[in-house]
Amino acid sequence: MAYEHPSGIPGAYSRAAARPSDTAVVFAEGEFAQATDHNDAHAIQRQRTQRVGNMVAKDGDRLSGADIQITLAVAGDPPVLVEPMRGDLALAAGRIYVAGDVRDVAAATFVDVALAGEITVGVRLVRDIVTAADDPSLLGLHPGTEAEGEIGSAREVEHIAWALPGDGQPGEYYPVYTVLHGAVIDQTPPPALSGVLNTIALYDRDVNGNYIVDGCQVLALGNTGAGQAFSIAAGTANIQGHKRIREAGIRHTEPETPDLEAITAEPHVFGGPDGGEAIITVSRPPIAAVGQVVLVRRATATVTRGVIAGGADALPHAAVVEIESVKQGATTYVAGTDYLLVADSVSWSPAGAEPVGSSTYSVTYLYNALVAPTEVTASTVKVAGGVNGRAALVSYTSKMPRIDILCLDASGRPVYVKGIPARQGGLAPQPPATLLKLAEITNNWVSTPTVRSNGTRSLSQDMLNRIANKLLDVIDTFDRSEAQRDIQSRAGVATRGIFTDMFVDDFYRDQGEPQTAAINRGVLMLAIDSVLVARAGSATETLPWTPEVVIRQDKATSAMRINPYDNYAIMPGALRLEPPTDYWTESVTQWTSPVTMEFSAAPNQPPGSTGFDEVASRNQTAAQVMRQINVTATIDGFAAGENLKTLTMDGVDIKPPGVQTADANGRIVVTYQIPAGMPVGRRLVRAEGMADSYAEAIYVGEGIIDTTVMRRVTLVAQAAPIPVINVINNTTVINNITEVINVTQPVVAPFPFGIDPLACSFTLVEARCLVGVRLKADAVGDPNKPVRIQLATVENGWPTNVVLADTLVSMIGVAPGDVITAWFAAPVFVAAGREYCWVALTTDSEHAISIARLGEVDAATQQRVASQPYTVGVLFSSANRQTWTVHQDADPWFELLAAKFTATSRTIDLWEGDLDQVSDLLVRGAIEIPTADAGCRYELVRANGDVIPLAPGQTWEAREYVTEHVKLRAVLTGNERISPVLYPGTAIIGGRIRASGDYVSRLFAMGNPVQVRGVMSTLLPAGSSLTVEVDNGAGVWSPLDPDGGEVLGGGWSDALYRRAAHTAAQGRIRLTLTGGPAARPSVARLRAASI
C-alpha cells in the first residue's frame, strides 16, 4: 500500500512526503480519527521547523566543538610522508546541525584513512524505532482505563555519529569537513547561529579586525618535558568581533615539533689520538638524531698469498681506503711497484716482487667503519676508534630554526601557528584572518625560545591624546609660520625680529616675569580664581518610585539548593564606602591659566582663527597623594558576633583602635581616615574578619570621575575598574565630569572558582529601571552565610560574568517559606528585547530557593504544573560560574522588581550657602541619562528668587560680583518607566574674576632705532581696556599707540599698535587687560615685529 511510514512499522502511514504543500491537519467533529493524521501533523510541523532552520544553517554546520585533527602517516629515516597519503583522523565531540535540528555527536577516531585527493568527513543520522516491546514504559499508563497495559505508539529516536563516505555504516550521510590533500577546509558557522552578538561582531571585525585591548603579553617559561611552555598574561582582546576577557593568565604548552633536515656524510677530521676518542662539532646544529658515523680505522691482518702469481688476496674488512704497508719477514713491499689496492684486496698484478704462493705476509691498512657515538649533544658527537687526521663522516638530522606565532582563536583559546623553517632570513607566518596574533616565537631548539610580543594593539585614550597633542603642536607651528608671514606682509620692509603667540598655552611667556592674565585655548583673558569648593549630595537620586513586579513566576513545587555542589569557599561580603570617591587634583604652576580653563571651557574665538578643543600638552605636576578625609565603611556579610581583624587601604592599616564586632545582621560600621601619603588613583580597601570573612571595595581619588566609574563603585560592591586619569587643572579643586550615556556600563567581576551559583534569564518587553529581585527561601542553612544576588548580562543564551549590579542579602532571621528581597543600590536601566539574568551565589550548602518543576504539584494551589512555568527565561546551575547546566523542566519562584516612577519630575535640594564676591559658578555632577525620555538640569536659586538653569558642566558667568545666600537644586524629569540617575558628590566651584591681568612675551631681537609693531585680534566690551607696551629687556616699558585695524565680526577686530622709534638690542611685549564680571576682554593671535 502507498504512504507507508518511513519507519517501516507495520500499519503506520504518512502522507506528508507526498503532500509537501500541506500546512496543517484539521480535525472535524463526527469524522474518524486516524493515526495517519497524527503522523501527518507531526511531519508537517517538523518540515516547517526544518525549513526555518535551513534559513540560518545548513546540514553539517558546526554549532560548537566537533573539531578535527589529522595526523599524516610517515615512514623511513629520515621520515617522509607515506604515498599515497594516509593518516589518522581525531574528531572531537560537539554539536552539529543536521536535518533541521542541532544534535550532539560523540568523539571518534579513524585510523589509517586514505587522504589522497579530496574526501569528506561527516556524520551519519541513524533513526531507531522504539516500541512497547523494547520499552515497557510505552504501554498504557493510566490505571482503570481500557488502555492500561496496552501497546501504545512507538517512538522514533535519532542520533548522529562521525562517519566516512562509503564506510558501509547505516544512516544518512551528511558531510561536515572537506579534506584536500590532508588539509582541512573548515566550515565556519553562519553568523545567525550566534544571534545579535555575531551581527554586531561583524561590524567590529570588518572595521577593526582582531586586536589586543590590554594585557595578553607572552612570556616563554622553558621546556617542561611535555613541550615548550608559554605564559599568556591576563587581558582583553577582540577576536572576530567578540570580546574575550581573562582576569588571570593562562599557560600554553606546545610540544616541540621541529622540522628536520637530513645531513648525509658531513665531512670532519678525527682529532683524537689513534684509536682514542674525539669530539666532533657538527656544522648545522642542533642535532635531532645521529644516523651514522663513519670513521677511518687502522687494522693489521695476516694474509695468505694465493697460488696464482700476480693474483689478488682479499683483506678481512670491506671499504678499505688505503694500504699502509705490506711486509713478509724483513721484506717490505712497495706500493704501486709490487702491489695495488683493488676492491678491498691486495693485487700483485704489477711486475714487481711478491711473496711465494701459500706463504703468509702482514698487511696494515685503513678502512671505513660504522661506529656508534658514545655521546651526543645538541651540537657535538663523541666517537672513538678513529685515526688521527683522517676523515670522519657524520650523517644526522638537524632541527631547522623556525619562527612561529602564538595566537588566540575566536573563543579565546591559544593557537600555535608554525612558520616555515629557514637557516637564514626566516619570516614569521602571517596569522590567519580568524586568529589574533599575540607574539612571534623564534625557536633555535637549543635554549628557551625568544618571544616578541608584537600583536596588534588598540590605541589607548592616553596614546590618542598624545597624538592629538602632537597634531596641535603641528597646527601651532603652522599658525606661527602664518603669523610671521602676516606681520612681514603688513610691514612691507625688512624686519629684524618677529614674535608670535597663538595663546595655546603658557610656553611663550617670559617664564621669569610674574604675570596674572590667563591663557585659555587660544585666548588671553582675565584670570578667574577659585574661591569656593563644596560637595553636595551623599545619596543616589532618582525620581520617586515604588517597586513594581514586571516578571513573576509564583509556582513552587520543590526546592533547589543554590550551592548544589557543596563548595565551601568564603563568600565575599559587601563593603560600602561613604564617600566612595574624592574629586580632587592638584598641580603646581605659577600661572592662572589652568583654573581659568575650568570656568571658561569654550572661550569665544575670533572669526577665521583655529579652534582649540583640547589644550596642548604643558608641563604639570599632578598631586601625588589623596586628601586625608574621613570615610565611613559599612561592612555586610560577616558572621554575627564576628570581630573585624584587619582593615587596609592599598595594604596600609587603617583599622580604628579597639574592637569592632558585627551585629546580629552581620554588619560592621567603622570610620577611618585616608592615611597620609596615599597615592591618588584606585585603591583597594579590604576588610577581614576573625572568622575569615572578608569584603572589598574600591576607593577612587581622582580629579575626574565619570559616570561609568560612579556606577561601578555604586552598584558593584566586589570590583571597580580603573578610571580614566585626566588632570584638568593645577589647583586644589574638586572636579567631576558629566557623561551622558545610554547603556548601563558593566564591570567584569573576578569570581573565584569556589562559588556555585544558580541563575535565571529573562527578557523585558519594554525598557525599565530594575531595582531588585525577590526569591522564596525554601531551606535555610547557616544564617551567618549570606546570599549574593547579581544582575548580569547573557551572551548566546548563557550567563556571563559581566555584572551590572549586585547586592548582599543577609539570611539572619530568614525562615523557610519567607520571601527575600535583594535591593540594588540604584535603579539599573535594562533595555527592551535583550536577554539578562539574575544570579544567586552562596557558600552555604543548605540554602535553597523554591522552584516549580514540570509534573509536580504546587502545594499552594494544589495544581499540577502541566507546562513550562516561565517560558521566556531558563534556569541555570553551575559549579564555577563559568560552565552552566540548563534545567529546561524547571523555573525558580521569583519576582523581578522594576521602579514605577510616581512622578514625572522631581526637584532635589542639593546645597545652600553663601557666596562671597563670586563672579563665576561651575556645577558638575555624575548623571546617567538612560534614554531621551529622561533629563536633568541644575538650578541656582538666588536670594531675590531668580532661578538660573544650568546644564551639567555649564558655568554661570555673573555680570557682577555676587555676595548673597544661594541654593542649588537638581531637577530630574522622566516618565513612569525611565528616570535619570544623579550620583552623589555634585561639585560646586565658585570663581572670582580679577579686575586686571597682564602678559609678558619672551625676548625677541630689536635694534637702534627700530619701529615696533604689534597686531592682535581683540574683543573689548564696554568697560574693558587693553594696553600694549614694549621694553628694552630690563623692565623699562614704553607704550605702543593704536594705529587702526580691521573689523573681523562678532565684536572682534584685528588691532594694530605701533611705536615709531624704539632703541633696544632685545625687547618684550606686555599686554595689560582691565575689566570685570560685566566686561571681560579677550585677546587672540599676537603678532609682533621690530622693523
Q: What is the pLDDT of residue 954?
A: 73
**Mind listing the pLDDT tens digit for each residue in 315-349?**
999 999 999 999 999 899 999 999 999 999 999 99
Task: State the greatest distance between any 2 C-alpha atoms of the chain, in Å, as a whole number.
Answer: 146
Q: Which residues contact 819 (CB under 8 A, 6 or more apart)?
A: 774, 775, 776, 777
Grid cell listed for 678 = 596615599
Collapsing DSSP to helix, strand or coil, 1035 comes out as coil
pLDDT (tens digit, 9 = 90+) per residue, 562-604?
887 665 556 677 888 887 776 544 444 456 665 666 666 545 6
Q: Residue 751: is its pLDDT beyond 50? A: no
Domains of the chain with bracketed CATH: 22-190 (no CATH), 206-259+401-452 (no CATH), 260-399 (no CATH), 495-527+996-1090 (2.60.120.260), 530-540+902-989 (2.60.120.660), 557-568+753-886 (2.60.120), 625-702 (2.60.40)
- The predicted model scores a pTM of 0.52
Of 976, 1055, 1056, which is closest to residue 1011 (Cα–Cα)? 1056
Beta-carbon contacts of residue 32 (< 8 Å; ≥ 6 apart): none
Task: Compute the average pLDDT of residues 158-163.
Answer: 93
The owner of cell 611663550 is: 508
Using CA atoms, how far apart are residues 1011 and 889, in angstroms rounded to an integer? Answer: 94
Q: Is the pLDDT of residue 258 over 80?
A: yes
pLDDT at 911: 93
Secondary structure (3-state) at 197:
helix
Q: Write the pLDDT tens digit of every residue in 871-913.
A: 678 899 988 777 888 888 889 999 999 999 999 999 999 999 9
Q: Which three cell numbers stand for residue 859?
A: 502545594
pLDDT bin (cut points 50, 70, 90) of residue 987 is confident
CA dist., res. 398 & res. 260, Å (int): 5
pLDDT at 181: 63
Nearest to 870 by CA among 840, 896, 849, 890: 890
Are the C-beta atoms of residues 858 and 556 closer than 8 Å to each other? Answer: yes
Counting Cα atoms < 13 Å in the Cβ hemisphere of 908 gives 24
Share above pLDDT 70 across residues of the chain, in percent, rounded to a whole number: 84
**Average pLDDT over every residue of 544-567:** 87
Q: Identify the CA nearest to 742 among candidates 931, 927, 541, 899.
A: 931
Tell me what the pLDDT averaged over the chain comes to: 82
Give the Cα separation of 569 and 844 in Å (integer): 9
Higher per-residue pLDDT: 647 or 457: 647
CA 376 from centre of chain: 46
Measured distance CA(622)–CA(161) in Å, rounded: 66
List, in sequence order, every residue forming a beta bridge with 644; answer none if it has no partner.
689
Cβ contact 506:617 at 8 Å? no
Q: How confident is the model at residue 72 (pLDDT cuts 50, 70, 90)?
A: confident
E strand spans, 5-85: 62-65, 68-72, 74-75, 80-81
Cα separation, 702 vs 677, in Å, equals: 15
Q: Which helix (H) or strand (E) holds 560?
A: strand 558-561
524-535: b or e for each residue (b if 16 or more CB lie within 10 Å)?
bbbbbbbebbeb
Element (H, E) at 593: helix 593-599
pLDDT in tens, 1039-1069: 999 998 888 887 899 999 999 999 888 999 9
Poorest-pLDDT segment among 267-271, 634-638, 1052-1056: 634-638
Per-residue confidence (pLDDT) for residue 482, from 0 to 100: 63
- The neighbouring-strand residues paired with 266 are 394
The predicted structure's pLDDT at residue 749: 44
Cell numbers placing 206: 570588518
Dihedral sign (CA 827, 833, 835, 839)? positive
Query: Cell triple for residue 42?
Result: 507531526
Write down how long the chain is: 1091
Rounded CA separation 626/1054 (Å): 46
Peptide bond before 350: cis, by omega within 30 degrees of 0? no
First to last CA, the chain: 115
Q: What is the reported pLDDT for 608? A: 53
pLDDT value at position 582? 66
The pLDDT of residue 317 is 92
Task: Let me know: does 291 contact 381? Beta carbons within 8 Å.
Answer: no
The Cα–Cα gap between 992 and 500 comes to 30
Residue 855 burial by CB count (10 A; 0-12/13-18/19+): exposed, middle or buried? Answer: exposed
Q: What is the DSSP string of 897-913?
A: EEEEES-SEEEEEEEEE
The average pLDDT across 228-251 equals 78
Q: Which three cell numbers stand for residue 237?
A: 582582546
Distance CA 189, CA 56 (A): 9
CA distances to 674, 742, 801, 830, 831 from 709, rounded to whole Å, are 20, 15, 18, 18, 20
Residue 505 has pLDDT above 70, yes or no: yes
Q: How far apart are CA 590 and CA 581, in angstroms?
A: 28
- Residue 665 C-alpha from the chain's centroid: 38
Q: Count Cα neighbours of 805 within 13 Å in the Cβ-side half-sphere.
A: 22
Strand ranges, E, within 6-78? 62-65, 68-72, 74-75
pLDDT at 983: 83
**Do the beta carbons of residue 321 and residue 367 sit within 8 Å?**
yes
Main-chain dihedrals φ then ψ at residue 1030, nearest 5 degrees: -135, 145
What pLDDT score does 985 carry? 77
Which range (477-491, 781-795, 832-846, 970-984) has the least confidence? 477-491
Question: Tens digits of per-residue pLDDT, 22-46?
Answer: 888 888 888 887 888 888 888 888 8
Compute φ and ψ for 277, nearest 5 degrees: -100, 155
User: Which position has the higher pLDDT, 25 or 58?
Assistant: 25
